[in-house]
Structure formats: C-alpha cells, structure tokens
Structure 1
Amino acid sequence: MKFAYRFSNLLGTVYRRGNLNFTCDGNSVISPVGNRVTVFDLKNNKSNTLPLTTRYNVKCVGLSPDGRLAIIVDEGGNALLVSLVCRSVLHRFHFKGSVHSVSFSPDGRKFVITKGNIAQMYHAPGRKREFNAFVLDKTYFGPYDETTHIDWTDDSRCFAVGSKDMSTWVFGAERWDNLIYYALGGHKDAIVACFFESNSLDLYTLSQDGALCVWQCDTPPEGLRLKAPTGWKADLLQREKEEEEEEEERETTIRGKATPASEEQQGKVKYSRLAKYFFNKEGDFNNLTAAAYHKKIHLLVTGFASGIFHLHELPEFNLIHSLSISDQRIESVAINSSGDWIALGCSGLGQLLGGEWQSDSYVFKQQGHFNSMGALGNSPSTGYVIVTSSMDGTVRAFDLHRYRNFRTFTSPRPTQFSCVAVDSSGEIVCAGAQDSFEIFIWSMQTGRLLEVLSGHEGPISGLCFNPMKSILASASWDKTVRLWDMVDSWRTTETLALTSDALAVTYRPDGAELAVATLNAQITFWDPENAVQTGSIEGRHDLKTGRKELDKITAKHSAKGKAFTTLCYSADGQSVLPGGMSKFVCIYHVREQILRKKFEISCNLSLDAMEEFLNRRKMTEFGNLALIDQDAGEENGVAIPLPGVRKGDMSSRHFKPEIRVTSLRFSPTGRCWAATTTEGLLIYSLDTQMLFDPFELDTSVTPGRIRAALRQRDFTRAILMAVRLNEKLLLQETLESVPWDEKLTLSAPPSPELYVEKMLEFLASSFEVSPHLEFHLIGTQKLMAHGQKLKSRAGKLLPAVQFLQKSIQRHLDDVSKLCDWNRYNIQYALAVSKQRGMKRPSEPLGSEEEADASDEDSLHLLGGGHGDGDDGDTLL
C-alpha cells in the first residue's frame, strides 16, 4: 500500500474572513478559508483549495492584473507570493506588522500594502528569477490612524488610501511636482472604501456611517508633472536639456522667430466636493462594512452590518437593487471584470454568495458549518440517504435527490443520541444514547421502533455494523464492547472487556477484525468470532498534543490525558488510521503494530493547542496576555454575546478554537481519505503524477526496449515491462498500441497476479480520462480471466476492483442517460410522424412543402437536420 498522500481539497468551509477577488476571466472567486485559499469556479460549479498554507489566518489577498500571481498575507504579516498557474509558492516575505490590505497597480509594476497608519509601495516581482522578489520603493505617511483601503488610478500614477481617522489621502506613485499628497475630509466616521473614477483623478469616498462623498479634481491625470531631480541626475538632465535648446535655436533661426510657449500652470492639484449622499439606514447598528466599484459601468455595491447590500449607479447615486442575504455582517464585496456577477462574503455565518445582479439569480450560494464538524461517511454506489443523530433526541434521514428530511426517528422518552449507524442493506437504523445507556433500533422503511437494547452501564460512544454480517458492535464508557446479533432476537453474542473507556470502534472491511480506541490512548484489535484480542498499539507518544495558551501544565503532561477519538481501517485492511485531540493523524500497520506515517493536518497558529511551548513574549508581570480580550466586540475572531442581547453587548468575548480531528474515513478505492477537523473537511489523496515509482525494475527494462517489443508485436512482454517501469504515459502508449482483436494474456512467470493488480489500477484511472471506452473494457474482461488465481489476494485487490467499478459505473450512468434521451426522442418523432401520416388523407396540409417542413421540425428536436452550423447531439 502506498502512503504518498497529499492534501487535495478543503470542503465544508467556504469563507472565514478577508477580501474576495474575482479572477481575470470573471468566472472564479478567490476566497480565504482559514490559513488556506480556495478558488470557486462559478461556471463549472467546482471548488479547489490551493496546496499552500500560511502561519495564521489569511487576512488579505492581492491579485495581479494578469491573474498569474497573488500575494497572500496572514494576520501576523507573513506574505506568500503564489503562482496561480503552477499553484506553488514562489517567495516568502514578512512585512513586520499586521497588514490590512494589498493592491497591485493596473500596469502590474508595483503594489501597495497598508499597515498601521502608513502605506508602503513595493516593486512587483517580475517574470525573471530574483533574489528578493519584494523591493521597497517608498513609504507614505499621513494618516493618524489605521489605514483601511487602497485604490489605484487607471494609469497607475496615483493611489488613494482610506483611514479610520475619517480622512482619505491621495498619493503620487511617482515624484510629481504638483501632487505629493492630498488629504480629503468631510466624513464623520471611519473610511471603509475609496474609488477613483475611470481615467480620472475624481474620487468617491465611503464612510462607516453610510455617507458617500463625490470629489472632483481640477487636474486630469496627464496634467501631472514630474518633479525635477537633484544631484547627478539633475546634471545629466541639464546637459540633455541644453542640447535640446541648442537644436531648437537652430530651427528658429531657419524658420524665423517663433512665439514663446505659454508657461505651464504652476498650481497644485486641488479637490472640491461636488455632492454628499447618505444610504438609507434602518438603525444605528446598520453600519456600512464593505464596498466595491466597477469603473466601466459605474456600479457601486455596498454591504452593511445587517446583511443588506445595495447597488447604486454613480455619480447620480440611483438605487438599482436592495437585497438581503442574511442578518449577519457582510465582510467583503467583489465585482467581476465584466460587471455581471458580484460576490459577497459573510464571516459570521461563513457564507459565500455569488450572483448575477441583473437577473436577481444566485449562481453560487454556500454556507459552511457554524460549528466544527463531528462526523462523515462514504456514500456506497446506491446510497442516496444521509442519517444523522442529535442531542435533541431525534435521528433524521435526508434524501439527497430532493434535499429534504423524509424520516424522523424518535425514542419513547426524550434522550440524547451520541452516535448512529446504518447496516449495509440500509434497512436498519441504530442510535446510541448518552444519558440512558441504551441502543435504539428503527426500521428505515416504516420508521417504527423495533427494539431497545440494554446492557451497557455507561454512555454509548460508538456504533458500527459488520460489513459482511448482521452484527452490531457498540462501544461504551463502561470499558466494554458488546456484539449484538440483529437476526437472532437482538441478543448479545459477545462482550469484550477493555482496560479503559472505549471511545471508538470500527470493523475491518472484510469483517474479520475489530479495532477499538480507548481512553488510555491505546488501540486494541480483536477477533470478533472468538472474542480474542490479537494485538494492541500504544499511541500516546504519537499524539504530540500542543499546549493551550491558558494551560498551567506543559504539553508533555497534557498529552497524558489525550487519546484517539476516531479511527478507521484502510481499504485493504492492512493499516488503521486514528486521530483525535491532536493536529496529527497517524497510519499504523496492524500486523507489525508500527507507525508507518504521520500527517500534520494543520499548521495554523490562529488555532489553540498548536504550539508545544508558550510564547514568552505574551507573559507579563500581570499574567498572560491571552487573558485580555483586546479585540472584544469587533469583527475579528468569534464573538459570543449573551442570550437575547441584540445591541450594545459589553460581554462579547473571543476565543481560539482548539485543533482536533473528530472523524476519519478511507475511500473504498484506497486512493484518498478524509478527516473532519476544526478547519473543515480535509481531503488527502495519492498524487503520483510527479512520482517515479517503478515495480521490480532492472537494467533490462527501458523505454527503448518497450517500444522495440511493440514493433516486434510482442505485446505481452511490452506490457509487462511497461508495468514494471510504472510510467503512466508510457503504459498508456503501450496498451493503446495493442490491436483490439489481440488476446491479452498476462501469464508470464513469475507471479502474474502482481501484474494484474497494477493493470487494474491503471485501467481504473484510464477510464476517467481516456476516450477508448470499448478498448479498455475488452482489456478489463481479459484481465478478469485471472479471477481464479487471485482469490488468495482478494483482500489486497479489493481497493483496485472498487476503483475500477466506480469508473465503469460512472460511464454506465452517462451512457444510459444519453441512450434514454435518444430512445424517448425517437419514440416521440415516430409518434409525431405517425400522427401526421394519419391526418394526411383526410386533413391534408396546405402543401407538400409544409408537410416536409413539419417533419424537419420534428427532426430538429432530436438535434438532427441539415441547418447551417447545427451542432446538435447525434443519435446513437
């Protein structure tokens, strides 16, 4: 089994905090999610998380004008220069302070960041390799409070910076003679955003109290004059100027005396306020929180703390739309390049919305889980139902076709359900109670309570059905695991005695082994048929829990109270994957009882229990700084108000969520595994594209000899050598070079079963991308001729077979839908033609041409016909 699993995607969380960005094509939204960044493709309904992380939660993201580069800055001021093309980190930098915003210039040559009350302009990284990608150009001073927003002019000559001191500052990106800086007032609250008008120095400023000021500049952008240099540059320019003057004098003597040019206007750039508008407020709490402006179509989108967003047309300030997405604060607003789609982010609910404002339709609307996820499960090939249990005393079944709760299971008396399980047939639903120590069993079809199993003396912590038999295993805090027969009168078949409280239980995929995680950080393995313990693993030293900020003990002593709270078997049953109150997920070999690999699921220092030692800089003579809520009541972190308090809550406090793993599952194919964590649902998969992993390789196996065997029509030897070399492209070339009518046999000694396993894995992956469907199906049929020889290795081949079945089933679903569509349309065309033919003798049409035209219309319904440029679907 391979263990080269890498982070693949993050699900269940769509937005946390920070600014949103549209890509250059306008079809995707870049959203910060914790210390990662996710790209949501709104056109194809897909999401992909970049395989990179920052040290703390992402605070702002700046996108280059060409969309190739992005600067990602976290809360600690650590920055990553990321290539969105190759999805990799190009450079790391520390800005030595908390950065509020970052913005590239429209020409892509520079970018500006704001931190504290200053703005810093850097040279943007070029396309060539540089020792230092970020070179500081200038530092701009002026605001007296924290800066909030940046916007550039279209020609990249100037930029504006908003501040919390209620002022907006216009700075020159170059050393302009008539514009060094200009401060604009007129507001009574902090500046939220500022925007330049298209191809102009005219400016719009918006404050938190819902005021919009329109500023007009008396100088066009081309009216800015460069300041005369000093020093050696001035001497050099003076010589060039003298030479130009001499040439001009020669021209004037030849052409005659010319009139002297009028002197340029020596006045400075000045701004004047043309108008001031106010947004309709529904209360004092309805503050303006985010804004975005599209310069070409003059569209202003504003978000408020009440969840309402407005669309206005500037400069007339005409209201176009006023909608609401929730009752929580809108943190960020973005508009795509064409101005058709807008994106809104709500940090309180973890909600991300993308819609087309002209048609009032949502293209994308998702919301992450409000609290940490607690469980997950894999869907079988025919499963379309999700069953959940809750502390509210109900077990609910949801239909994934209609997205509705079609069945609710309850107990005779109120109880708190802590776990749930469904048998392999989907007919029986079981739930364990935390307060009454009982197991309730219902029928999925009727919803009727079938039985209540008693016997445990502590809360039920886990339930699991045997995949091969109707046997239920229940784990409890009473230091036992009980096996219940679901066929023979619901009786207890075995009771397994443990040395500590049981926290999780799971069966091996073949049902021949049982694994139990206990409170003393051990994993014990049992033979369920004979009720005999077959092994155990001590995992306390592999947890390596971190120290919380308010812990009085060290991380080493804190680990003594930690344990694995969830575990699952790998697809082949040879390994077990446990996780719990730690940032690590381990893979153990069951038979050898050794640690194979350890995965660090998060390096986000914004979460608690991440560091092993305390930060001494936070320790003062008055105690730990973590005890002081300096940001209480603001939007940062998670605020917990008192119940019933809507306004002016002085008790709101902040906390750092603790990192932990709540559930783990391996995919049936063994290609990936998933973990529910504090950050969301993490997917880890095998990435073998850039990995050279040969199989029984020797010096005689080379690409040249493989191609030589193909030319000699020795296809079996060529395929065996290609399997041993294990290069995907070469193996695909070799396999597709075999004529379809040739009989493929893999009977070369020794151990042909090993080659068959490799071929199964390759065919399963090829089904997803290759258009040669029938050819690969013939190859799969030939490989299945070795079924009798592979019975001894059925357990190891199970993941490969399931992977192959999944790929074939996907093609079957697609082809069957296409066939049904064609069949129904053919029936419809025949019925229409028959009806027209019956009407012709008695009810003739106006002309023969009209009849032919009506028949052509029926053919066009099928995607056929002879129209020019017709790209309709063809019939099978």
Structure 2
Amino acid sequence: MNYRFQNLLGAPYRGGNVVVVNNTHLISPVGNRVSVTDLIKSETTTLPFQASSNISRIAASPDGVFIVTVDDNSRCQFINLRRRVVLHRINFKKPVAVVKFSPDGALIAVAAGKLVQVWRSPGFKKEFFPFELVKTFANCNDKVTAIDWSPDSKFLLAGSKDLTVRLFQLNRLKDAKAKGLHYNKPFMFLGHRDVIVGVFFGVDKKSKQVNKVYTLSRDGAVFGWDFIKSNDLDEPESPGTPERSVEGDEVSNVSKKRKYVDVNDDDGVGNWELAKKDYFNQSPAKLTACDYHRGLEILVVGFSNGTFRLYQMPDFVCIHLYSVSHQKITTATFNELGNWVTFGCAKLGQLLVWEWKSESYILRQQGHFYDVNTIAYSPDSQLLATGADDNKIKVWTVSSGFCFITFNEHTNAVTALHFMANNHCLLSASLDGTVRAWDLFRYRNFRTFTTPSSRQFVSLASDQSGEVICAGTLDSFEIFVWSMKTGRLLDVLSGHEGPVHGLMFSPTSAILASSSWDRTVRLWDVFDGKGSVETFQHTHDVLTVVYRPDGKQLACSTLDGQIHFWDPIDGLLMYTIEGRRDIAGGRLMTDRRTAANSTSGKCFTTLSYSADGNYILAGGSSKYICMYDVADQVLLRRFQITLNLSLDGVLDVLNSKNMTDAGPMNLIDDYDSDIDDGVDKQTRVKAGYDLPGAMANRGRPIVRTKCLRIAPTGRSWSAATTEGVLVYSMDDNFIFDPTDLDIDVTPEAVEAALGEDQPSRALILSLRLNEDALIKKCIIAVPPVDIKAVITSIPFKYLNRLIQAFAELLENCPHLEFILRWCQELSKCHGHSIQQNSRNLLPSLKSLQKAITRLHQDLGDTCSSNEYMLRYLCTTSSKQ
C-alpha cells in the first residue's frame, strides 16, 4: 500500500528549454513534470510534484539550489531542487516565453507577453507574498522572445517579435539628467528582418567588462554590436532628445553623438555601433535555438532541419557542423564550463548531450514519440521493456531510468512483450504479423515467428520452460503455437469468435488461458493437443485475463466494468468485483454527458496480480488506477496517474465558458505560422493540410492506462499511460517512515551507541528511526565476529527493513563477503520465523535474491573470463 511515484520512463523530453546546474545535472521538462539527469552517474529521476499543465520554461539559480518552472497556463513553481519540494507558486497571467535568473541570483526576469517583468527571487523564508515585482518594462510592441542579463545584473537585453532588441537598465541614476543620459528610453538595436531568437552580452577577456552584444534572428542573421565609450567617439556628445536606436543597415551620425549609460560598473557613457553582420545561410531552414558561452566566446545554433553549428566569436569561425535529427531542434544550451552542449528535439522526444572538444556523446536518450502499448518486467525486475505505436521496442534499466537498447525491426505497432525465464531473451508481438525473439546479450533479433498468411498479433505468452510460444490474433481470432528451438509453427488453436486480446500460461502447469471479445475465457492444453479443455462464459466482452502467481486463481475483466475471479481447477466463479464506479472519472471535451452519467470507458483493460497474490491492480481508459483486495473484494487505493490539464479527461467538471459555437475552445487552433518555424499558412493550404479560412482541430491526448505490470519482487509496479511509463515504488530513500519512534531515538543516540562500542543497540535504534543511511552505517560498523550476536538480538518486526538494507548494500557496497555473512546468519537465526511469515517478507526476499543473482552472474562472467585468459596464457607460454 505504501507505493509512491518514483520515476517516469519512456519520455526523456517533450518540449521547452533545458538547463544544466552544477555542470553535471541536466534539468528537463517532461510533460507537467521535471526530470533530473546525473550525467556522471548516468541516472535520471523525476521530481515527485506536478504542474497544472505541460511545463514550457525552466530557469535555475546560479548556485543550483532553486529552479523555476512555468507551464502553458503561465503558472509558476519555485522549487528547492535539493529537497525536491515546491516552496512558492505564482500565476503570471500572461503567456511566458522566457524566464531567467540574474547572475547574482537575487532577481528573476520574466518575458510575459509584451512585458519584461523583474521579480525579487524568493528564498527559504515563508512569506505571504514571496514574489515581489521590482520593475516592469512595457516598451516592446510585440511578444518578447529572448532575454539576457549583464554579468553585474544591472542591465537586461530583450528581443521581441517586433524585430527589435532593447537594452534596459534596472536602477535609475540620480544624476542621469545632469549627465545628459537617456535613461527612460531604452536603447534599440534595429536592422533584423525576422523574429529575434537570441540576445547575448559579450565580455572582454582582459578587462572582464561588457563590450559586445550579439543579436540573432530566425532568418539566420547574427549582428555584432560594439560599445564605444565617449572618449573614443569622433564627435563630442550633446544632450537632448535624440533618436534612440541604431539600425543594422545604416548607423546614423546623429545617434553617434548621443550618450547612453555604460553597461559596466564605471558608470561611463558611450554608444553602441553595429560592428559586424554575419549569416548562417541555412535557407530554407530557420534558426530555432541558440546559446552563447561568454567565457569561451562560443556560439551554438540549432536549425529547423535538425542540424547545429558551433562558431568561435567574434570572428564567426565555424568549429563544428553536425546533424542530430531530421526534426527541429527546440533547445540548445551550454553547461557552465562550456565543454558540453545539450540539444533537445521535442517532436522525437530526443535529448542529447555532446562534448564538442572530443566530438563524442555524453548522453543519448530518445523516448517513444507515440503511445506506449505494452510493458514487461524482466524476471529479476532490473529491466523494463516497452513497446509502442512507433514500431519500436526499448529496454530500460529501472534503477537508472536509462534506455540502453532500441529494437526497430518491426514495421507496425508493437502490441505485446514477454520476458523469458532466463532473463536474456525478450519476445515481442506486432500488428505487422510477426513475433520476434531478441537476444539481450548480442542485441539482435535471432528468431522470427510467422504464419502462412499475414495476421495481426495482439497478445503473447510463453510457458515456464520457454519451449512453446503462443500469440493471439486480432483478425482471424486464432492462437498460433510455435516451437522456440526450431521456430516452426506447431499448432493453430481455433474456437474463439472474436479478437484474442488476453493470453497467459499458468505459472504451475502447461494450461494456457485466453480471453476474447466473444465473451469467453478458454483454457487450452497445448502440449497434449486436446484443444479447449474449459470455457468460462461471461455476459460481456472479455478484455484481458491474468493468472495469480500460484496458478490457483484466474482474473479477467469484462466490458461492463467487472472483474471476475475463477478457480481454474474446479471451474467455479469465486468472486466478482464491480469496478464501474471506481474507475469512473474525467470528462472529455467532446462528451455530451457529465462524467457521472457517461458509460464510455468505464471498464478495465489491463490487470496485474501482486507478487503474493493478495491484491490486484486494474487500469483502463481513465485517469485512475485501482488497487483491490482480492479476498475481501474491496477497493484499497486509487492512484490518479496525472494532474496535467493539457490532457483530455483529467477534469470531472468542464467550464461552460470554454464552449463556443465551433466546439471546445481548446480544440480550436487558428494556426499561427510563427509557431511552426519556416512554414507559413499558404504552404499548408497548397499541401492540402488546411482549407483557406478553416480552423484546424488537432484534438488533445486522452489520459488512459494501456498496460500495468507489477515487478516480480513486488517492490514496484509500472503503468504505460499517456504521460509515459510511470514507475511507483516502495523503495524511496526520501520517504521518512519511522517504525517505533520516541523522543530518545535520534541520530545522535545512534552515533553515541557506535562510539560506545554497542553495535546491537545502534542497529536497533537506526531500524526504529528508519533512516536508510544510518542503518547501512550501523551494519558496516559491526565486526564480523559479532554478526551472529547482533543478528540474534534483532526483533522480528525489523527483519523486513533489515533485509531491504542487505539487498541495497549488495548492489552498491564492495564488501560482498561481509554482507553475505550477514544473510547467512540471518537465515540461521530467524529461518523459522521467515518461513512462517514468508508471504509478508516475500517482496524483500525477492529483492535480496535479485541482488545475489546479479552478483553471482557478474562473478561467474569474471571467473570465466579469467579462466579463458589463463588457458590462453598457458598455451602461449608452452608453445614458446
């Protein structure tokens, strides 16, 4: 019951900008969540909170402690990154294009529509109004698209859709009028002929003062501007009310004479002049992303055709030119050192970190860019395979959240996945009419199962021995049986009169269970060839079927929202759970009935038993996943998979103000050509995408759960949803869950017990406190000769937590023999108690078994390698 959200797989990036903090941690938005990737450890985690809609902008403080996120509804969250909590919230009430911290971290600049707002950055202190508006610049004539701070946090550059760049000063000088400085009217950089994409301050390496400004527009133009101090001008300055701008095509003599505040700390005066104009010459591709590193004076630019370039400024020398995809690059950013460049492609869900000096990738991750249909856990729960509508299969490491292999041989949607018992083979079924077997050692498709005529497979199963492979079809309503060793078709099971969407072998016998839309569940004896041996009739279409892990119970869901539990041995109906009310929730924008009165989607399409078989998870076309107690047929808990209002079906009640004569307002898109860079409306009309004057109705993704799987260890479960693959786990070090806490149980008391050479007392105190780091420290501190005495003194109620600690230590601790001795003494001292309460301890014991099995395999591989190396050396020495 203590499952909490842990991670989001299958979608490393979906849009918006990314930032890098502390040089090695990549912060990226994933829908309405924030993902943090450690580029050194190759691990990714998803923060536990959610925004109200898809996050479009992220900014990080210079020290990496705070981040600010802004979603599509202009709602902002101020987050403590280290503690992973939201400190403050605010609504900017206008579309936010850019948000950026000042270099000193005290201010936050926000481009809200045509305004540039400067807010005081909140801190740890709780305040009623944490955000304080310091200043607002309302000089722009169109939406602001780019912002940059000067190094001293006193000046702001703002680029706009009105093709201009403005220089703003935050603090007004008292003697500005006496000096003849034009403070109230910001300086304007003119000359660009397209929307401004990036604006950057340049710094002189010797004097460390701002002496340049770079402005970049979408048509691929780069303008370099130099600041000329007053004593360097040819003509003397004169006060007055001059023209406030310099055009890129022609520098006015009048404007040369006018004085403006120096952007450096010496409060001098001078003017800006256009020094150089350069072009990328990437037509028809448009400039879509850019970043500038002041220290190295390197500019990176990304284009709508998927290419990027690195330039050494101000000489405009191209260092690198590469193509990373065939879609638009939506974000590009340097880390603080400037040795890594991060690129993101929203349409492909692609996130890349490239080291430009060595020309190598630090990170390459790409998620599924269509819905995930099916998932499968490996027997040791370390790997998770996903199959989607993009015809691809990806295998993820659950602990790190990284995808390490992608199989793309299927030519149609992948509908079912199954791991073999040996943990090294993965089976997949697809609508392209093939079932494929994948080798996870050599990463290849070593066997393909086909049928005499093309079929569409939607379900897949394998017996415990791995000798027989079965797949159910969508079109012919048959079940095909193949031999795993030879790949030959052994049998075709006929009898169903509808698509076979559920297929599973009994864990304890060779009986195959299948469910179909013909309202039946059938049991088949595959090896004896007797055909269907039992048929369970239902009143509605059967959507899926699963066996309990002990093989003594069968669960199936029907179209009327019920879950039926059968005894497969006696053929009797044991229980029935009515789940229509439990899964109901969420009204679609196109629904004409309320969520309470609607009958569509009120059924479970996927089921999964827990490791001990006591409870079952159920999900479907709803925002809820339900957990039921099987014996009592009661709802234990409902998990709401998302709060993202960018998806359809999240709200139970819709606002009637958003309904127009043309339909829901959110489904109407008048299509602004500026959104899709380089593609105008006339091109779309000629291509037949949109009719002239018509409005495109692209719809919104509908929240749903397509597949549920509980890990064999029982410590976690995953759900393939519209948001991606959500991973819920009980193994979370951030959870504080004391077992037996009182005023004397403190970390200081644990340290004192260790100092007084009382390892048994220290370990029990740490178990009562349930602090993960302290428990492991106390285990390591026990001398090997005292292990038996300490383990004998541990009460039974703490064994579950102690076994979890052993499993985690085996995966990360180098003291292998020491931890195994703990496990041995635990089995000797508490073996009888563990055997009597095996059901309660089963998840922890499976985690321990997983860790020991993995270590055994690693040691076996190392020993085999050493053995072959020694044989080779002995053979070589004997020949010499």
TM-score w.r.t. length of structure 1: 0.82
After TM superposition, the structure 1 stretch with the greater mean CA deviation from structure 2, 766-775 or 576-585, is 766-775
2:822: which partner in 1? 779
CA deviation profile, 1:591-618 (whole Å, cap 9, x unmatched): 0111111111100000011111112331
Correspondences of 1:546-585 after superposition (within 5 Å)? 546-559=586-599, 561-585=601-625
Q: Is the 8 A contact 1:642 1:649 kept in 2?
A: no
Q: 680, 685, 699: which one pairs with 2:724?
A: 680
Equivalent pair of 1:543/1:559 in contact (CA under 8 Å):
no
Contact 2:298 2:311 in 1 (8 A): yes
State whether residues 478 and 495 of structure 2, in contact with CA within 8 Å, keep that contact through their aligned partners in structure 1. Answer: yes
Q: CA deviation at 1:170?
A: 1.0
Tell me which amino acid in the other structure corresponds to 1:6. Answer: R
Q: Mapping of 1:306-385 within 5 angstroms?
A: 306-381=305-380, 382-385=422-425
For 1:860, the equivalent position in structure 2 comes to none
Identify the residue that residue 5 of structure 1 maps to in structure 2. Answer: 3
Query: Measured at CA, do residues 492 and 790 of structure 1 come closer, stay the same or move farther in structure 2, by a change above 3 Å?
Result: farther
SS of alignment partner, residue 768 of structure 1: helix
% of aligned pairs identical? 42
The one-character-per-residue Cα deviations of 1:506-549 (angstroms, maximum 9, x if unpaired) are 11111111111111111111111111111111111111321111
Q: Deviations over 1:51-84 (max 9, x none)?
A: 2211010010011111111111101111111111
**1:649 to partner: Cα distance:** 4.1
Correspondences of 1:504-583 after superposition (within 5 Å): 504-559=544-599, 561-583=601-623
Aligned to 1:189: 194
Residue type of the partner of 1:209? D
Q: Deviations over 1:109-156 (max 9, x none)?
A: 211000111100111224555443321000001211111011112222
- The yes-or-no answer on 1:801 pairing with 2:800 is no
Matched, 1:46 2:47: no
The number of aligned residues is 789
Alignment of 1:213 onto 2:223:
yes
Residues in 2 aligned to 1:305 and 1:688: alpha-carbon distance in whole angstroms: 42
Distance 1:633 1:578, change over 3 A: farther
**Cα deviations by residue, 1:529-579 (Å, 9 ceiling, x for unpaired):** 111111111111111321111221111122454211111011111000111
Residue segments in structure 1 that go unaligned for 5+ positions in a row: 228-263, 839-876
Displacement of 1:101 in angstroms is 0.7
Query: Is 214-223 or 810-819 further displaced after alignment?
Result: 214-223
The answer to whether the Cα contact below 8 Å between 2:500 and 2:514 also exists between their aligned partners in 1 is yes
Q: Once the 2 structures are TM-superposed, how far is the Cα of residue 338 of structure 1 from its aligned partner?
A: 1.9
Q: Matched residues in 2 for 1:674 and 1:354: separation?
A: 27
Q: Does 1:670 align with 2:680?
A: no
CA contact (8 A) 1:518 1:563 kept: yes
TM-superposition CA deviations, 1:447-505 (whole Å, max 9, x none) = 21111111101111111121222221111011111111222115222111122111111
Aligned position for 1:121 = 118
Q: Distance in 2 between matches of 1:347 and 1:558?
A: 34
* Contact 1:157-1:221 at 8 Å conserved across structures: no
Map Cα deviations across residues 407-436 of structure 1 (whole Å, 9 max, x no partner): 222211112111222233333222111111
Tell me the SS of whatever aligns to 2:821.
Answer: helix
Q: Which amino acid aligns with 1:677?
A: T
Instruction: List per-residue Cα deviations over 1:292-345 (Å, max 9, x = no partner).
Output: 111222211111111111222222222222211122111111111222211111
In structure 2, distance between residues paired with 1:109 and 1:707:
39
Partners of 1:789 and 1:587 lie apart in 2 by 29
Amino acid at match of 2:458: S
Give the CA deviation at 1:700. Answer: 12
| Whole-angstrom distance in 1 between the partners of 2:721 and 2:685 | 31
Once the two structures are overlaid, the 10-residue window that deviates more, 365-374 or 396-405, is 396-405
Q: Which secondary structure does the structure 2 equivalent of 1:555 belong to?
A: coil
Query: Tell me, what secondary structure is at the counterpart of 2:210?
Result: coil
Q: 1:564 and 1:266, CA in 2 relative to 1: closer, same or farther beyond 3 A? A: closer
Q: Kindly provide the CA deviation profile for residues 592-647 of structure 1, in whole angstroms up to 9, marking residues without a partner as x.
A: 1111111111000000111111123313466532342134666589x9x9999996
Q: More strand per residue: 1 or 2?
A: 2
Kindly state the Cα deviation for residue 162 of structure 1 after the two structures are TM-superposed. Answer: 0.8
- Displacement, 1:737? 6.6
What is the RMSD of the two structures over their aligned residues, measured on CA atoms? 3.7
Q: How does 1:411-490 map to 2 (within 5 A)?
A: 411-489=451-529
> 1:607 — aligned with what?
647
Change (3 A) 1:827 1:346: same
Tell me if the contact between 2:715 and 2:844 (Cα under 8 Å) persists in the aligned partners.
Answer: no
Distance 1:586 1:79 in 2: 31
- Note closer, same or farther for the CA distance 1:830–1:145 as it changes in structure 2 (3 Å cut): same
Is the 8 Å Cα contact of residues 506 and 567 (structure 1) preserved in structure 2? yes
Matching of residues 29-178 of structure 1 within 5 Å: 29-126=26-123, 128-176=125-173, 177=176, 178=181
Q: 1:631 to 1:37 in 2, by over 3 A?
A: farther
Task: State how far apart, in whole Å, the 1-side matches of 2:446 and 2:683 are.
Answer: 32
SS of structure 1 residue aligned to 2:596: helix
* Larger Rg belongs to: 1
Normalization by structure 2: what TM-score? 0.82
The answer to whether the Cα contact below 8 Å between 1:200 and 1:220 also exists between their aligned partners in 2 is no
Shift of 1:400: 2.3
**Counterparts of 1:379 and 1:732, CA distance in 2:** 27
Contact 2:292 2:299 in 1 (8 A): yes
Aligned counterparts of 2:755 and 2:156: Cα–Cα separation in 1: 66
Q: Give distance in 1, aligned partners of 2:531 and 2:231.
A: 86
Q: Which residue of 1 aligns with 2:301?
A: 302
Match of 2:635 among 595, 605, 617: 595
Check the 8 A contact 1:572/1:797 in 2, yes or no.
no
* Distance (Å, rounded) in 1 between the aligned partners of 2:156 and 2:232: 15
Q: Equivalent residue for 1:240? A: none
The alignment partner of 2:807 has SS state of helix
Counterpart of 1:398 in structure 2 is 438
Contact 2:667 2:700 in 1 (8 A): no
Question: What is the CA-CA distance between 1:810 and the residue it aligns to?
Answer: 3.0
